Amino acid sequence: MKQLVATIRTEAQFNSEREETSKFDQHRRSLSPYSCLPPPPSASRPLSSHTFYPDSSADLLPALSQEERDLLEPVIGLGYPMHAAIWALQKIGKQSPDQILGYLVACDRLCKQGYEEVQVEEALEMFQYSETKAAEFLNLLTQFHEMGFQQNEIKEVLLVHENHRERALEELMMRVE
């Protein structure tokens, strides 16, 4: 399955798929303003390695097992691109369609709050895919980084102190002295 992520397509194919996805997303938005589906690829959102070179379903489906196809089918049916669903499957493993969808929705919500996709994925993984804990971590990470602390130290301290703001800040301050 890792070969799937590494597949690179030409820019013309990529742009063609972006246009199709954008048309679908415009239609979808006209149907429901409350949808939690992912934004179109043209939205100003950081691109990570798993969203930069999407593949067509025809390229990806043969490489998936029947079990994987069965897990991804409901997620794709809700409008998520195949490459995003496969990425979620790789991240959380062969769970249930609800868990894959939960991961994608959590990523989407946290990215919409302004966090970088790579940081969102890392935070979700660190906190066993708990959106609440990941959001708290990302918020504190941003606050402490704005105070001038180094990101690696912040991550370490927040993990040790389980996102407890005061204890984490106290330890960061002691490290500066």
pLDDT in tens, 90-134: 888 888 889 999 999 999 999 999 999 999 999 999 999 999 999
pTM listed for this prediction: 0.64
Two structure tokens written together for 48 = 């990570």
User: Which residue in this structure is represented by tokens 């660190």?
Assistant: 126
Looking at the chain, the domain(s) classified CATH 1.20.120 span 2-128
Two structure tokens written together for 161 = 């102190």
Cβ burial of 121 (10 Å; 0-12, 13-18, 19+) is buried
pLDDT band at 149 (very low <50, low <70, confident <90, very high): very high
pLDDT at 2 over 80: no
Two structure tokens written together for 141 = 């990470």
The string of pLDDT tens digits covering residues 38-97 is 444 433 333 333 444 445 555 676 788 889 888 899 999 999 888 888 989 988 888 888
What number does CATH give the domain 130-177?
1.10.8
Q: Which residues, other chains included, contact 139 with Cβ-Cβ below 8 Å and sequence gap of 6+?
A: none
User: Which fold is adopted by the domain 2-128?
Assistant: Four Helix Bundle (Hemerythrin (Met), subunit A) (1.20.120)
